[in-house]
Amino acid sequence: MAQPSTFNKAVRIGLITGVVALSVSAIGMVETFDVRDIITGVLTLGQLLLFSTALIAGYFSWQKGEGVSPAGAVLRGLVAGLLTAVPPILLVIVANLWPDIRNSFVNVSASLIDILTFDQGMVTGSLILLAVMGVLGIIGAAFDLLPGRVQKPLLYGFLAMLGIGLLSEILLLILRPYTPRALLNFLFGAKGITPITAVIIFIVAAGFSAWWDVQGKNAAERRRVNRSPSTAKQLRRLNIGLLIAFILILPLIMGTYLTEVADIVGTFILMGLGLNIVVGFAGLLDLGYVAFFAIGAYVMGLLTTQSDLGIGGISFWAALPFSVLAATLAGIILGVPVLRMRGDYLAIVTLGFGEIIRVLVVSDLLKPYIGGAQGILQIGKPEVLGFVFVQPEHYYYLILAGCLLAVFVSWRFRDARLGRRWMALREDEDVAEAMGIRLVSTKLMAFATGAAFSGLAGAIFASRLSSIFPHSFNLLISINVLSLIIVGGLGSLPGVVVGALVLVGLPEMLREFAEYRLLLYGALLIVTMLLRPEGLWPSPVRRRELHEADLERESDEAEEVHSMA
Amino acid sequence: MTNILETRKVVKRFGGLVAVSDLTFNIPQSSIVSIIGPNGAGKTTFFNCITGFYNIDEGDIVFNGRSIKGRSPDQIARLGISRTYQNIRLFNSMSTIENILAGMEPQLRSNWIGALFHLPGTVKEEREALLEANRLLDFVGLRGKGDDLARNLPYGDQRRLEIARALASKPKLLLLDEPTAGMNPRETAETTEFIKHLRDELGITILLIEHDMRVVMGISEHITVLDYGKKIAEGKPAEIQSNPQVIEAYLGRGAAASATIEVPA
């Protein structure tokens, strides 16, 4: 036997993951997720969730450098895996002995028990579960015994298989119009991908990963090094061009449903870009960000609606600047009283501001003017030369234009004096002030820019849905936007896009997540903070130091400018 | 010689505690002046009063013939007073060169419209600022580390960067709060030389808080001693070294009779 202390670790992790397995089962996640097949007839999302706990337990049951022998490692994995199975088995037994438990734990249903016991009844099923979890624990533990060049392909192959299986419904939706029926039937089951497809994906992904590590990476690196600066620049342009072309034709590929999802994601990207300026650049924690979204939407609604509430009945394009302007002004108005506040205090006040706007919108006081809980209907649609925007595809391009504008503005501001002031403010407000940075204008500029983006998002949102209701503008939107920029990487522009895709796009596409959305956010935030505090796609350090050659050239140029002036 | 900074009977209280009391003192143009005193004597508080971080309760502070009493820190920075901190306070998640650029703030004029449309004036200003920042990088010996994050720099480099950032605003008066704290003897000697160099080459007036007597006695032309917020002595290094009141404040009453402050060779 090895030292008992390392076995303690396996026991501890096994118990933790066991409790996790029990929780996800008892709150109904396993059962809800069981309807989605990843690999037809083999693995459902619910099972994946359940089984991954044992895999994780096994993986963390020992660590390299603890002097554990391979056999010891496998043994630890087994212990952790078996322990992970214990709490769910207890749940099965309890549910069998006292069926009344369902009155209190509504999610402990017969079908959940069937999932946990593989439809084999209490005794046999429990034993199977124990065995499966034990084996998975061993696999998890053994994974770390493998050399890195084997680990990576296995992991990527596995992840590719699961990812594609998970999104099979969407792939099917996209491929259906172009692909022969026979091929589709071969690739996809009733739900999920067929086992053969899964194996093919695994082999391809793992094979590619292995090839990349052994040869591809070096070859690519060689080519990159040998490339002349001008070719590198051309290639970059080509890549960006291809990316833009891809984004432009995306709605044609995706179809209406997915384009609608893209519209929602795009709206959140636009808001995320705005909040990224306030929180990511300037470090001002704003929890009432939805207020500006609401203001943009309501101004758009009131100015363009055909119903009795309307003020102008003017066109979308004429109303758009007013929406953005109103949100910007609101940003400044909120900014002034909170200039002297920091951190938590700022967060609380902005939270209150968001609530004030929401309460005002539903209030009876303003009902005659802005519709109260009945909201505003018949909001105007944009029109270009007689062409009216109706379909999600049309709005896709409008939102895309908004996002591109916001990216451009963020990017220009970030790299300018203003961006430096924001970041200095974020890093240390007192020092920033002592360096001569004017706090008032710097903070107000951040609030105003952030609010303007949000107002733009709100205006497009109102027009896209053609009706708005107060309950669309709750605190949850603020939390969503904040979470997505944290997960993506605070202060990073690509991070906002990645964050929105993960936190908004995925739950929209996988409807089972809807109920557990907040849980998912919480879990993702914690995992991000623990494993990747800088976010999924952090912003790189901008290289600005000039080297000898640049310095001389720059000096010459500067002198030329001087002599010309 | 004209005085660049004059404080007149400055009082700063925190509740019942008088942190700075009736402090009157002058800093001649282009001199190196040190403030010394035991811990808690009010030295850093006095710095905070000069830079506008604290509002003084009584008295007046005159910089270059203008009262700066009641002005905000950013206004005072723009008038030409810059500082470093006892516990280094850099913009940690920004690169070295961006720290310096941020310090240039009082020199810059461009606005957001120029930034958005890349107007010629803004582009030119940014380019010149970048050049200047690179020069400062060289000046403080941080060439090659411009793109490192400030937090990843070694301790000594962080101290240098803080000075570079303070210099970026082209100050007339530079306040250094224990610039050699935590340095080994060699680094201390280098920093001392560097401070002298700043004054000699750039003509910047320097006000120094320092505990290392070798540094203080080596470069100061004038020393002021604080204890409990009061000025207990001032004069040239030699006078301070033999002042009984100073020795008492540092070493206690018993020692005062026989000792002088020892300056290690």
Q: Which residue of B has its CA nearest to A416?
A: B115
pLDDT in tens, A177-216: 888 888 888 888 888 899 999 999 999 999 999 988 888 7
**Residue in B83, B115, B131 nearest the CB of A554:** B131
With beta carbons less than 8 A apart as the criterion, state whether B163 and B196 touch: no
User: Hey, what long-range contacts does A340-343 have (CB within 8 A, 24 or more apart)?
Assistant: A342/A429, A343/A285
Q: What is residue B51's DSSP assignment? A: T
- pLDDT at residue A4 greater than cutoff 70: no
Residue among A341, A336, A327, A343 at smallest CA distance from A289? A327
Residues of B in contact with A418 (CB under 8 A): 111-112, 115
The answer to whether the Cα torsion of A76, A80, A81, A85 is positive or negative is positive
Distance from CA of residue A523 to its chain's centroid?
12
pLDDT in tens, A343-374: 889 999 999 999 999 999 998 888 888 888 88
- pLDDT at residue B257 greater than cutoff 60: no
* The two three-digit tokens of residue A3, written as one number: 């030292």
- pLDDT at residue A228 greater than cutoff 90: no
Residue B1: pLDDT band by 50, 70, 90 thresholds? low
| Nearby residues of B60 by Cβ (< 8 Å), 6 or more positions away | B7, B8, B9, B10, B67, B69
Q: Over range A338-344, report the average pLDDT.
A: 85
**Distance separating alpha carbons of residues A193 and A188, to the nearest angstrom:** 4
Share of chain B above pLDDT 90, in %: 77
Residue among A230, A510, A432, A292 at smallest CA distance from B91? A432
Q: Which residue of A has its CA nearest to B92?
A: A427
Beta strand B58-63 pairing with B66-67: antiparallel
**Distance separating alpha carbons of residues A185 and B8, to the nearest angstrom:** 90
- pLDDT at residue A541 greater than cutoff 90: no
Share of chain A above pLDDT 70, in %: 96
Q: What is the pLDDT of residue A565?
A: 43
- CATH code of the region A251-531: 1.10.3470
- pLDDT at residue B262 greater than cutoff 80: no
Residue among B61, B49, B63 at smallest CA distance from B20? B49
**Distance separating alpha carbons of residues A484 and B9, to the nearest angstrom:** 54
Annotate A91-136 with three-state secondary structure: HHHHHHHCCCHHHHCCCCCHHHHHHHCCCCCHHHHHHHHHHHHHHH
Q: What is the pLDDT of residue A558?
A: 53
**Contact A436/B110, CB-based, under 8 Å?**
no
- pLDDT at residue A80 greater than cutoff 80: yes
**Residue in B83, B92, B114 nearest the CB of A434:** B83
pLDDT in tens, B44-59: 999 999 999 999 999 9
Residue that the structure tokens 């590929």 belong to: A253
Please indicate if any CB of chain A lies within 8 Å of the CB of B113.
no
Residue among A462, A445, A464 at smallest CA distance from A293? A462
* The two three-digit tokens of residue B72, written as one number: 């905000």
Name the H helices within A363-428.
Answer: 367-370, 392-414, 417-427
Please indicate if any CB of chain A lies within 8 Å of the CB of B65.
no
Q: What angle do CA B18, B23, B27 make, to 5 degrees?
A: 145
With beta carbons less than 8 A apart as the criterion, state whether B241 and B262 touch: no
**pTM summary value:** 0.89
Q: Over range A485-497, report the average pLDDT.
A: 94
Q: Over range A80-101, report the average pLDDT.
A: 92
- pLDDT at residue B24 greater than cutoff 80: yes
pLDDT in tens, B174-232: 999 999 988 899 989 999 999 999 999 989 999 999 988 889 999 999 999 999 999 99
Q: Over range A495-512, report the average pLDDT.
A: 90
Helix axis angle, A229-275 relative to A475-488, nearest 10°?
A: 150
pLDDT in tens, A8-28: 889 999 999 999 999 999 998
**Residue in A428, A438, A558 nearest the CB of B91:** A428
- pLDDT at residue A542 greater than cutoff 80: no
Please indicate if any CB of chain A lies within 8 Å of the CB of B55.
no
- pLDDT at residue A408 greater than cutoff 80: yes
Among B47, B74, B79, B95, the residue to mutate for chain A (most A Cβ within 10 A): B74
Residue among A316, A262, A266, A326 at smallest CA distance from A294? A326
Name the H helices within A276-315.
Answer: 290-304
Q: What is the pLDDT of residue A16?
A: 94
Residue among A461, A465, A462, A419 at smallest CA distance from A442? A419
**Distance separating alpha carbons of residues A503 and A484, to the nearest angstrom:** 6
Q: Which residue of A has its CA nearest to B124?
A: A558
Q: What is the pLDDT of residue A2?
A: 45
Q: What is the pLDDT of residue A262?
A: 95
Q: What is the pLDDT of residue B51?
A: 95
**Distance separating alpha carbons of residues A407 and A415, to the nearest angstrom:** 12
Q: Residue B216: which H helix or E strand, with range?
A: helix B213-219
Q: What is the pLDDT of residue A338?
A: 87
* The two three-digit tokens of residue A431, written as one number: 């020092």
Residue that the structure tokens 């505090």 belong to: A533
* Closest chain A C-alpha to B27 CA, distance in angstroms: 20
Question: What is the pLDDT of chain A when averaged over all its residues?
Answer: 89
pLDDT in tens, B75-102: 999 999 999 999 999 999 999 999 999 9
pLDDT in tens, A264-296: 999 999 999 999 999 999 999 999 999 999 999
- pLDDT at residue A534 greater than cutoff 80: yes
In this structure, the dihedral spanned by the alpha carbons of residues A251, A253, A258 and A259, taken in order and rounded to 10 degrees, is 0
Say if the ipTM goes beyond 0.90. yes
Q: What angle do CA A116, A119, A125 make, to 5 degrees?
A: 60
Residue A370 CB-density burial (10 A; 0-12 exposed, 13-18 middle, 19+ buried): buried
* Closest chain A C-alpha to B134 CA, distance in angstroms: 7
First to last CA, chain A: 83
- pLDDT at residue A562 greater than cutoff 70: no
Q: What is the pLDDT of residue A559?
A: 55
Residue B252 CB-density burial (10 A; 0-12 exposed, 13-18 middle, 19+ buried): exposed
With beta carbons less than 8 A apart as the criterion, state whether A499 and A160 touch: no
pLDDT in tens, A421-473: 999 999 999 999 999 999 999 999 999 999 999 999 999 999 999 999 999 99
**Contact A437/B165, CB-based, under 8 Å?**
no
Share of chain A above pLDDT 90, in %: 57
Beta strands in chain B (DSSP E): 3-14, 17-28, 32-36, 58-63, 66-67, 81-83, 173-177, 205-209, 222-227, 230-235
Residue A479: pLDDT band by 50, 70, 90 thresholds? very high
Q: Over range A493-521, report the average pLDDT.
A: 88
* Closest chain B C-alpha to A438 CA, distance in angstroms: 6
Question: For chain B, which domains are there?
Answer: 1-80+171-265 (3.40.50.300), 94-170 (no CATH)
**Distance separating alpha carbons of residues A446 and A296, to the nearest angstrom:** 17
Q: What is the pLDDT of residue A36?
A: 87
Residue among B105, B126, B55 at smallest CA distance from A542? B126
With beta carbons less than 8 A apart as the criterion, state whether B74 and A436 touch: yes
Q: What is residue B46's DSSP assignment? A: H
